A and B are shown apart, each in its own frame.
Chain A
Amino acid sequence: MSAYLLRRLLQGVLTFFGATLLIFAMMFSIAKDPLQALAGEKPLTESQRVQLTAQYHLDKPFLTQYGYYIRGLVTGDLGKSINGRPIGAMLREAWPRTIQLSLLAVGIVILFGISGGVYAALRRGRVFDQTSLALTLVVIGTPVFVIGSVFQSVFGAQLGWFRPSYAAELGLATFILPAIVLALLSLATGLRLTRNSVAENLRADYVRTAMSKGLSRPRIVGVHVLRNSLIPVVTFIGADLGALMGGAIVTEGIFNIPGVGHLLFQGIQLEDGPRVVTVVSLLILIYLVTNLVVDLLYALLDPRIRHG
C-alpha cells in the first residue's frame, strides 16, 4: 500500500505543477501582450499596467513569474482583481454557498442515481429501464446551461414551483432547483453506470452461489451485488467533479448564486484576467486533491488496484 501511496502522491504533485504551469502559460504566453490578456478589451491605465506588472512579476523571466504565482497560490496570497479588490476576500465570502450547492447536488446524484440504476438493472428491459435509458441519453446530450435556462424558465417563471433566482432568505431551499440542474448530468451518467454494473454483477457466479444457498433476494442484491457494483460508481462520482465545477460556473451564473462559480462567471463577463486565472487554478487544485483522495480510497477498498 505504501509504495502505491508514494507513487500516486508523486504523480499528483507532478500533475499539479504541470497543470498550473499550463494554465499560467496559456494566460500569459499566447496573447501578444500579457497585460492586455489580463484586461481583455478594456483600455489599461498606466497605473494599472504598473500594478499588474508588479503583481505578476511580468518583468522577470517566465519561470520566475510562475514560481511567484505558485508561491502565492499555496500560501493563500491570491493577489487583486483587475479593479483592485483582493481575490482572497471575495473567495472567502463565496465558498460556503458553493459548498452547500455542490453537496446538495452530490446528494441528489447518489440518492437518485444509485437507486434508479439498481431499480433499472433489476427490471431490465421493462418500462422503467427503457424510459430511464432514453431520458438519461437526452440529459447527457443537453449542455448544463440549456438545462439550467430551460428549468429556470419553466419551473421558475412559468409554473412558479421554485424561485427562479437566488434568494438568501430562503436558506437551503433556494439551492434546490440549481442543485437539481447541476446534478442532472452526473445523475444520468451515474444511473447508467450503476445499471450496467449491477446488471453485470447479477449474472456473476457468486450470485448463483448465494441463491443456491437460499439467501433472500433483498439480501443478495442489497449486500452482495451492491457492494461489488458500487466501486466504479464511487470512482466516477469522484472523477466527475471536474464536470461539476464547469457546471457550477454556469448554474451559479444562471441562478445568480453568489458563489465561487458566479465569481468566475462574473470575472469572465468583466474580462477580469487575474480573477479568472486565480479561481481556475484553485478549482484545479481542489479537483486534483479530490481525485487523489478518491484514488487512494479506491485502492483501500479494492486490493486489485494497489497490486495491479
Chain B
Amino acid sequence: MASLSADAWRDLRRNPVFWIALAIVVTMLLLAAFPWLFSSTDPRTSCDLANSLQGPAAGHWFGFDKQGCDIYSRVIHGARSSVLVGVFSTLIAGVMALAVGLPAGYFGGWADAVLARFVDVFLGIPLLLGAVVVAVALAGQQLGIWPVVLALGMLGWPTSARVVRASVIAAKHQDYVQAARVLGASHARIMLRHILPNALTPIVVMLTILLGQFIAAEATLSFLGVGPRDTISWGVAIADAQQFYREGARPLMIPAGFLTATVLAFIMLGDALRDAFDPRLR
C-alpha cells in the first residue's frame, strides 16, 4: 500500500502543525496517566493559606492560588479529569454516530428518513444546555465523572452521525461493495468489513475535533458547578480564580492556558489529518 496512506503520511511528516499538535496531545496524555512524574507536590494537602497568591518560588514554578495551593501541581493533576471525560465521551459519541449513520447511509429510503428525524431531535438540543440538565439531575448522587461523560456522549454525536452517513453514501456504490453483495455477504458484513474501513478517514477527523470540543465542554460544566465533584480540574481552577480576578491574574491564566492548548491541539490535529488524507476538503 504505497498509495493513499503513504502519501498522507508524507504530507503529515512535513506539516509542522501536525508535530506541534501531536506533541501537546502526547504531553497531556502523559500528564493524565502519570501526574507524579511531573510533580511531587500533592495538590490537595500542600495548600497553606499563608502562601495565598504568592509568586513563583523554588519548586513552585507557577506560584500559589488564593487558597495557597501550588498552581503547578494543580494544573498537572487537573489534566486527568479533562482527558478521561474527553476520551470516554468521544467513545460513546463515536459508537452512537456509527450506530445511526451507518444504517442511515447504507439502507437509505425509509430507514434514512426515520433516522434523520431522530438525529434532528438530538440536534435540537444545544450540547451545553442538555448537558446541564443531565448533570443537575444526577448531582445528588456521587457518580464522579460519569454524569458528564454520559451527557456529552449521548448528546454530542448527531453532527458526527451526519458525517458517517455522508461518507457511507459515497462508499456504497463502489465496485467492491457490489462484488461483496454478489458473493452473498450479509448487510452487517458489508457495512462493517467493506464500507466502514473505506469511510473511516472523515470519521476519525471528526472524532479528533470532537474530543477537543468535549474537553472544552467538560471544563465549562466544571466552571458552571456541575462538573465532576471533588476533582481537581482546570475548569474548577478557573472558576475559583475568576472569583478573585481583581487580586491577580496568574491563578486564572495558567489553567486557562493549559486548557486552551489542549483543546486547540486536538482541533489542529484533526485539521492536519484531514488535510493529509483528504486534500479536497482543504
Expressed in whole angstroms, the minimum distance between the Cβ of B127 and any Cβ of chain A is: 7
Contacts of B264 in A (CB 8 A): 137-138, 141-142
Q: Is B223 an interface residue (CB 8 A)?
A: yes
Contacts of A22 in B (CB 8 A): 121-122, 125, 130
Are A249's CB and B238's CB within 8 A? no
Among the stretches A24-32, A124-132, A296-304, the one at the interface with B is A24-32
Q: Is A87 an interface residue (CB 8 A)?
A: no
Q: State A31–B225 Cα separation when bound (angstroms).
A: 18
Q: State A16–B245 Cα separation when bound (angstroms).
A: 40
Are A146's CB and B259's CB within 8 A? yes
Among the stretches A100-108, A169-177, A276-284, the one at the interface with B is A276-284
Contacts of B245 in A (CB 8 A): 149, 152-153, 156-157, 164
Among A15, A142, A249, A271, the residue within 8 A (CB) of B260 is: A142
Expressed in whole angstroms, the minimum distance between the Cβ of B78 and any Cβ of chain A is: 14
Q: Is B153 an interface residue (CB 8 A)?
A: no
Expressed in whole angstroms, the minimum distance between the Cβ of A7 and any Cβ of chain B is: 11
Contacts of A156 in B (CB 8 A): 245
Contacts of B267 in A (CB 8 A): 137, 140-141
Chain B 111-127 interface 0/1 with A at a Cβ cutoff of 8 Å (1 = within): 00000011011111111
Are A40's CB and B128's CB within 8 A? no
**Given A138-B264, A250-B223, A268-B226: A277 in contact with B133 (beta carbons within 8 A):** yes
Q: Is B98 an interface residue (CB 8 A)?
A: no
Are A11's CB and B124's CB within 8 A? no
Are B263's CB and A142's CB within 8 A? yes
Q: State A264–B129 Cα separation when bound (angstroms).
A: 10
Q: Is A116 an interface residue (CB 8 A)?
A: no
Expressed in whole angstroms, the minimum distance between the Cβ of A265 and any Cβ of chain B is: 7
Contacts of B268 in A (CB 8 A): 137, 141
Instruction: Report the tally of A-B residue pairs with Cβ distances under 8 A.
Output: 169
Contacts of A231 in B (CB 8 A): none
Chain A 234-258 interface 0/1 with B at a Cβ cutoff of 8 Å (1 = within): 0000000011011001100110000
- Which applies to chain A's interface (DSSP): helix, strand, loop or mixed? helix
Q: Is B16 an interface residue (CB 8 A)?
A: no
Q: Is B145 an interface residue (CB 8 A)?
A: no
Contacts of B128 in A (CB 8 A): 245-246, 249
Are B252's CB and A153's CB within 8 A? yes
Contacts of B219 in A (CB 8 A): 143, 145-146
Expressed in whole angstroms, the minimum distance between the Cβ of A69 and any Cβ of chain B is: 13
Q: State A161–B217 Cα separation when bound (angstroms).
A: 29
* Residue total for A at the interface (Cβ-Cβ under 8 A): 59
**Given A273-B137, A280-B132: A268 in contact with B224 (beta carbons within 8 A):** yes
Are B223's CB and A145's CB within 8 A? yes
> Which chain B residue shows the least CB distance to A36?
B140
Are B117's CB and A143's CB within 8 A? no
> Which chain A residue shows the least CB distance to B219?
A143
Are B252's CB and A264's CB within 8 A? no
**Given A26-B134, A138-B260, A142-B260: A149 in contact with B124 (beta carbons within 8 A):** no
Are B225's CB and A15's CB within 8 A? no
Q: Is A66 an interface residue (CB 8 A)?
A: no
Contacts of A16 in B (CB 8 A): 124
Are B133's CB and A15's CB within 8 A? no
Are B216's CB and A150's CB within 8 A? no
Q: Is A19 an interface residue (CB 8 A)?
A: yes
Expressed in whole angstroms, the minimum distance between the Cβ of B89 and any Cβ of chain A is: 15
**Given A250-B223, A250-B224: A146 in contact with B238 (beta carbons within 8 A):** yes
For this complex, 30 residue pairs linking A to B, each with C-beta atoms less than 8 Å apart, are A14-B117, A22-B125, A23-B130, A40-B140, A137-B264, A141-B268, A142-B263, A143-B259, A143-B260, A145-B224, A146-B219, A146-B259, A146-B260, A149-B245, A149-B252, A150-B253, A152-B242, A153-B242, A245-B129, A246-B126, A246-B220, A268-B136, A268-B224, A268-B225, A271-B139, A273-B137, A276-B133, A276-B136, A283-B126, A284-B126
Complex A-B, nearest 3 residue pairs according to Cβ-Cβ distance, in ascending order: A18-B121, A141-B264, A246-B128
Query: Which residues of A approach B to under 8 Å, CB–CB?
Result: 11, 14-16, 18-19, 22-23, 26-28, 30-33, 36-37, 39-41, 137-138, 140-146, 149-150, 152-154, 156-158, 164, 242-243, 245-246, 249-250, 253-254, 264-265, 268-269, 271, 273, 276-277, 280, 283-284, 287-288
